[in-house]
């Protein structure tokens, strides 16, 4: 490590020359806490330092992003900074350590941060990132897997619409159309990790083999009858419309067999049953419908018998 990196320069830097991190680890800074920090700065001044790196004639904040935002809101003109050379990759670990110490990063924030550390020093791999941030390699790789998984799942994790365990389970689903449906249901219904894990397990058991073969580029044509997939079919109306509004419903298999299936069979056969008319209009409609289905009802049985008697 060179002296320039080991001993950063302490400078008073105009705040107008300091830029936000290119990839800030804090994705959604808490506005209330920043406002509170800005109020303290107005009262007592800026009593800390920022860690920044040179970026041409400007500076990019490494550590102290929240303090920079608060200083801007407080109207402070210049702040003391520890200035690192632009290639001081180890300074990124400073930001990670400071952020973890001051306020725990979310899983999505850590994923972005670990990816930047890996990009800056790829030779060390995930082992190098783990060593710099003081975590195990599996922990680092787990966060990176979130970043490299489904982008909609990661965005939902960023916006704290789903927890990390749900995101990890959703990324186990390898077919996008199913994964997005599960994600939508998880967000709308606040599904837990256990529930989503059950969805994915059921999908892997019943649907993954068929969908994997169907989507394979060189998959041979099926030799037997086509597989009927009713996963996106409403069992009440038997329609495939609006699949995004379909929701998984959990039943014990014995409850399903004893209650739900018989009820659905009755519902689908509802047209076979005649409802007793309550008004003259309803009675006339019933008679009209019966005559349409059974035109022989208009013939008189006695007259028919007379016609069949030999003269």
**Distance (Å) of CA 103 to CA 95, 98, 180, 194:** 12, 8, 31, 28
Provide the mean pLDDT of the chain: 76
Choose the CATH number for 1-103 among 2.160.10.10, 1.10.290.10, 3.30.70.890, 3.90.1530.30.
3.90.1530.30
Q: Distance (Å, rounded) from C-alpha 154 to C-alpha 142?
A: 13
Mapped onto helix, strand or coil, the DSSP state of residue 64 is: coil
Which pLDDT does position 145 carry in this prediction? 93
Which pLDDT does position 4 carry in this prediction? 40
Interval 40-63 mean pLDDT: 84
For 198-250, what is each residue's pLDDT tens digit? 889 888 887 776 555 544 445 454 444 444 445 557 777 777 776 657 666 77
Q: Which distant-in-sequence residues (6+ apart) come within 8 Å of 12 by Cβ? A: 78, 79, 80, 81
Which pLDDT does position 93 carry in this prediction? 53
Percent of the chain with pLDDT over 90: 20
**Distance (Å) of CA 62 to CA 109, 177, 287:** 15, 39, 84
For 136-175, what is each residue's pLDDT tens digit? 999 999 999 998 899 999 999 988 899 999 999 999 998 8
Interval 88-96 mean pLDDT: 56
Which pLDDT does position 281 carry in this prediction? 86
- Looking at per-residue confidence, does 11 or 98 come out higher? 11
Q: Distance (Å, rounded) from C-alpha 189 to C-alpha 278?
A: 42
Domain locations in the chain as residue ranges: 1-103, 106-148, 163-213, 243-300
Which pLDDT does position 224 carry in this prediction? 44
């Amino acid at each position: 490590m060179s002296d320039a990196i080991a001993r950063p320069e302490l400078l008073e830097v105009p705040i107008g020359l300091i830029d936000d991190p290119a990839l800030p680890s804090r994705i959604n800074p808490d506005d209330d806490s920043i406002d509170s920090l800005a109020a303290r700065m107005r009262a007592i001044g800026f009593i800390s330092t920022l860690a920044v790196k040179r970026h041409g004639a400007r500076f990019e904040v490494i550590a102290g992003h929240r303090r920079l935002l608060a200083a801007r809101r407080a109207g402070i003109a210049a702040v003391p900074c520890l200035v690192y050379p632009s290639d001081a990759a180890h300074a990124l670990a400073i930001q990670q350590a400071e952020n973890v110490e001051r306020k725990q990063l979310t899983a999505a924030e850590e994923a972005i941060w670990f990816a930047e550390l890996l990009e800056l020093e790829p030779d060390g791999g995930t082992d190098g990132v783990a060593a710099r941030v003081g975590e195990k390699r599996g922990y680092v790789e787990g966060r990176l897997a979130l970043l490299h998984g489904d982008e909609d799942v990661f965005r939902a994790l960023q916006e704290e619409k789903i927890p990390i365990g749900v995101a990890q389970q959703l990324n186990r689903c390898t077919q996008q159309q199913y994964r997005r449906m599960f994600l939508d249901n998880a967000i709308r219904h606040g599904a837990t990790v256990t529930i989503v894990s059950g969805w994915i397990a059921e999908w892997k058991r019943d649907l993954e083999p068929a969908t994997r073969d169907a989507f394979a580029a060189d998959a041979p044509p099926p030799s037997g009858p086509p597989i009927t997939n009713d996963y996106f079919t409403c069992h009440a109306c038997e329609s495939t419309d609006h699949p995004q509004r379909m929701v998984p419903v959990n039943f014990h298999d014995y409850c399903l067999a004893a209650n739900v299936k018989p009820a659905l069979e009755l519902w689908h056969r509802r047209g076979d049953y005649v409802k007793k008319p309550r008004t003259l209009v309803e009675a006339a409609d019933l008679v009209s419908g019966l005559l349409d289905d059974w035109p022989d009802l208009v013939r008189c049985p006695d007259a028919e018998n007379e016609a069949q008697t030999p003269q």
